[in-house]
Homo-oligomer: A and B are copies of this chain.
Amino acid sequence: MKLQPHPDRLFPADPTTRDIARKLHDSIKDEPIISPHGHVPPEWLANDEPFKDPTSLLITPDHYVNRMLHNHGVDLALLGVGQKDFSEEESRKAFKLLFKHWWLYRGTPVKYWMENELYDYFDIRVRPSAETADQIYDQIAERLQEPEFRPRALYKRFPLSFIATTDDPVDDLRHHKKIKEDPDFDGEVRPTFRPDKYLEPAREDWPQLMEALANASGVDTTTWAGFNEAMENRRAYFKENGAISTDHSHADPGTARLSDAEAERIYKEALAGKVSKEDADALRRSMMYEQVRMASEDGLTMTLHPAVYRNHHRPTFERFGADVGCDIPTKTEFTENLQPALSDFGTSENLHLIPFTMDETVYSRELAPLAGFYPSVFIGVPWWFIDAPEAMARFRGAVTETAGFTRTSGFIDDTRAFLSIPARHDVARRIDSGYVAKLVAEHRLEMDEAEEVIKELVVGNPIRAFKLEGILGEQEGVIGK
C-alpha cells in the first residue's frame, strides 16, 4: 500500500471552507518554526553527532509511541525502555513490533506525525506494516548516517528559527555556551529554567537540592531569604545565557504569600526533613508567588502546566523510572489559585504568564476570562495529550470568543522527538487555518482579516508571548503591539 499524505489533510471537508483553509495555510506554511518550549537535549545541537539508530531515535524515548503499544500488552523493555545495551537485532524487532501494531494508532496524532516524518525526511513511500518494517528500518538507518541528518542540518532544514531546551537550575549550561560560541552555527538554542523539584519542600532529597542550589549560586540557602536570593541568582545566570522563560509544574498552580516569619518556620522544618504535607504545599505556593514576583522583575516568561499524577503505575516507575507514559492528568483550577499573584503583579509590564492545561474545562471558564483582562496572561495552546487536531479546534472554539486570537501562546511542541517537530507544528498550522477559514466561510471575518489572523497565530503570538522581538527581529506582516 502506498504512503501518500494528502495535500489537503486536516482541512475541513466542506469545499468552501477547505478552499479558504488551503489559501490561509499556503500563506504561512513556509514560516520558520518557533519552538519556545521543548525537551530536545542541548548536547544534540552542541555536539552535532549523528543519531544512532531508528529505534533509539523514533521509539524508545517517545512515550506517545510506547504508550499505545503498552496498552495493547507490549512490554516496554521490548521497545528499549530502560535497556542499556539494546542490540541492533532488538532494535529492529522493536521497530517491527511498532509497525505490526500500526493500526492501533489510527485516529491518534502519532500516526500522523510519524507518517509525515517517514514521507518527508526518509522518502518512505510504503505504508508502515509488519511486512514493510524491515525495509523502512533499513532505509532510515542508512539515511541517519548522512550529514544532512545531523541535528544542526535538520535545524536548518525544518527550518527552525528558535528552539528552547529544558534545564535544571544548577546546570552550568555548558552545551548552550558551546553552541553560542561556535562560529559555524547561528541557530538560536536557548535554555529554560525549570525549578520544579527545588520548589517541593516535601521531597526526600530536598535538603540536598538546597545544598546543590547553594553551591551553584554561591548563596547561603539555609534561610527563606537566602533561598529566594539563590533563585534570583540562578534566574539571572540563565538569562545571561540566553533563557527567555521559566517552566513550572506542580500538583496545583497555587500562589499565596506567607508572612516571612511563617515561611521561615516552614523552610527550616523542611531543611530538617520534618515538614508536614500542608506546610510544604503552603511553602511551595509562596515560592510560586515569589517566582511570579521575580518574573515581574527580570521579565522571563513563565509557563505553568499543573495537575498531573506522576508515575501513576508504581511498578512501571520502579522498573523504568519517570517519564515513560504513566503520568495521568487531574482536574485543575486557575481563577482562585492565581489570584494572589495576579492581583499583585498581573498588570506589571514585565510579567508574561502562560498557563497550559489538559483540563479543557478551564479554557472558556477561567483562562479566556483571565487572559481577556490581564495584559500578563496568555493562554497556552493544547499540548501533551491534547496536542492533536480536534483538541486544537476545541481550544480555539473555547477561548477565541472571550479572549480573541492575540491572547494565546503560539504552538508549543514540548517534545524530545526532534524529527517530529515540523509535522507537529504543521498540524497546528493546518487546524488553525481550518478554524479561521470557518470564520470566513460563516462571514464572521473578511478574508484580509483572516490572513492577518493566521499570521499572528503562527508568528506574532509566540513572539509576543515569549518576547522574541529582540531575537527574531522585525517580522513582515505581523501587527504586534
User: Interface of A with B (CB < 8 Å)?
Assistant: 1, 5-6, 8-17, 67-68, 70-73, 103-109, 112, 309, 312-316, 325-326, 328-331, 333, 335-336, 339, 342-343, 346-347, 349, 358-361, 364-366, 368-375, 377, 385-386, 388-391, 394, 397, 400-407, 438-439, 441-446, 448-449, 452-453, 479, 481
Contacts and interface: CB of A to CB of B under 8 A. Distances in A.
Contacts of A361: 331, 359-361, 365
A364 B357 CA distance: 12
A108 B106 CA distance: 31
Contacts of A17: 13
Given A328-B369, A335-B309, A14 B14 contact: yes
A46 to B, nearest CB: 33
A188 B346 CA distance: 43
B373 A67 contact: yes
A330 B366 contact: yes
A373 B442 contact: no
Contact of A371 (B71, B403, B453, B479): B71
A204 to B, nearest CB: 19
Contacts of A108: 400-404
Given A72-B375, A107-B439, A401-B107, A329 B369 contact: yes
A244 to B, nearest CB: 20
17 contacts: A8-B443, A9-B442, A10-B444, A12-B13, A12-B442, A68-B372, A71-B373, A71-B377, A103-B452, A105-B404, A106-B405, A309-B336, A312-B343, A316-B347, A328-B369, A331-B365, A360-B364
A479 B74 CA distance: 16
B366 A329 contact: yes
Contact of A390 (B12, B328, B371, B397): B397
Contacts of A312: 335, 339, 342-343, 370, 373
Contact of A372 (B67, B103, B400): B67
Contact of A391 (B70, B364, B371, B405): B364
A391 B328 CA distance: 24
